[in-house]
Structure 1
Amino acid sequence: MKNKSDKTEKKRQKEQYVVEEMIRLYCRKHHGTGRSGRMCPVCQELSDYAKLRSQKCPFMEEKTFCANCKVHCYKPEMREKIREVMRFSGPRMLLYHPFFAVWHLICSRKEKKKQKNGESR
C-alpha cells in the first residue's frame, strides 16, 4: 500500500511542478516578472490555489489531468484563469520544457483512447 501512496504523491508533485511552471511562464510573458522565478501576486494566488486543489484531489491516483476529470473542483473564476494560463503556456511548453510537453501529449492521447474505448471512470 505504501508503494501506491508514494506513486500517487510523486504524481501529485509532478503535476504541481508542471502547473506552477506554466503559471510562471504566463506571468513572465503577461506581467513582466522576468526570469527571477517570482510571480506577481495574482499569479502566485492562482499557483497556490492550484496546489491546494491538487492536494485535496480524491482522484489523483486514477486521473491524468484536471481537464479530463468529470468533477471540477476549481471555483469558476479560478477555473477560467487556469484555462487562460493553459491556453497560453501549453503550446510554449514545447520550447521551455520539452520533456513535460511531450509527456503531456502522450498522456492526453492515451486518455482519449481510453475514454473512446469506454474505460474511463
Structure 2
Amino acid sequence: MSKKLSVDEKREKEQQVVSKMIELYCRKKHKTKGEICPDCQVLKNYAELRISKCPFMETKTFCSNCKVHCYKPQMREKIREVMRFSGPRMIFYHPIMAIGHLIESNKEKKKLQEDKQNY
C-alpha cells in the first residue's frame, strides 16, 4: 500500500526524477563530468520552474501524462529528447527511482484511459 504524497512531495519527487534524467543525458551525450553543461542547466532550471508552478500537481503524476503542456515548443522537444535517451537507462543508474516512476506512470495512464471510456 503506497502512502499518498502531498503536493509539495510530488513536486519534489518529479523535480528529482527530471534532474537525474537531465544529468544522465548530459553526462552521456555531452561527456560532462561533475557539473552539467550550460545548455542542460538551462533546461533543468526551466523544467524545475514549470514543475514548481504546475497547477495540476495535485491530480497528475508526471508532465508526460498531463493534458496541458506548459513547456515552450523548443523546450518541450529538448525534454522529450532527454526522456527518450535517459528513460531506458535510468534502470541502471537509479533503479528504485526508475521502477517507482514506471509504476506511477502506468497507474496514471490507466486512470486516463478509464476516464476517456467513461465519457
TM-score normalised per structure 1? 0.89
Structure 1 unmatched ranges of 5 or more: none
Shift of 1:104: 1.2
Provide the residue aligned with 2:107 in structure 1: 110
Cα distance in structure 2, aligned partners of 1:109 and 1:52? 25
Cα distance in structure 2, aligned partners of 1:101 and 1:29? 17
Query: Is 1:57 the counterpart of 2:47 in the alignment?
Result: no
CA offsets 1:68-116 (integer angstroms, 9 cap, x no match): 1111100000000000000000000000000111111111221122122
Query: Is 1:24 the counterpart of 2:23 in the alignment?
Result: yes
Cα distance in structure 2, aligned partners of 1:60 and 1:86? 19
Local SS of the residue matching 1:118: helix
Aligned residues: 114
Shift of 1:10: 1.2
Give structure 1 regions of 4+ aligned residues with deviation exceeding 6 angstroms. Answer: none
Aligned letter for 1:25? Answer: L
Query: Is 1:72 the counterpart of 2:69 in the alignment?
Result: yes
Identity of aligned residues (%): 65
Over the residues paired in the alignment, what is the CA RMSD in angstroms?
Answer: 1.7
Query: Is 1:8 the counterpart of 2:15 in the alignment?
Result: no
Aligned letter for 1:57? Answer: C
CA offsets 1:52-72 (integer angstroms, 9 cap, x no match): 001110001111110111111
Structure 2 unmatched ranges of 5 or more: none
Matches for 1:68-107 after TM superposition, within 5 Å:
68-107=65-104
Kindly indicate whether structure 1 or structure 2 has the higher relative contact order, using CA contacts under 8 Å at least 6 residues apart: 2
CA offsets 1:7-57 (integer angstroms, 9 cap, x no match): 1111101110110110000000011112x2x11000000000000001110
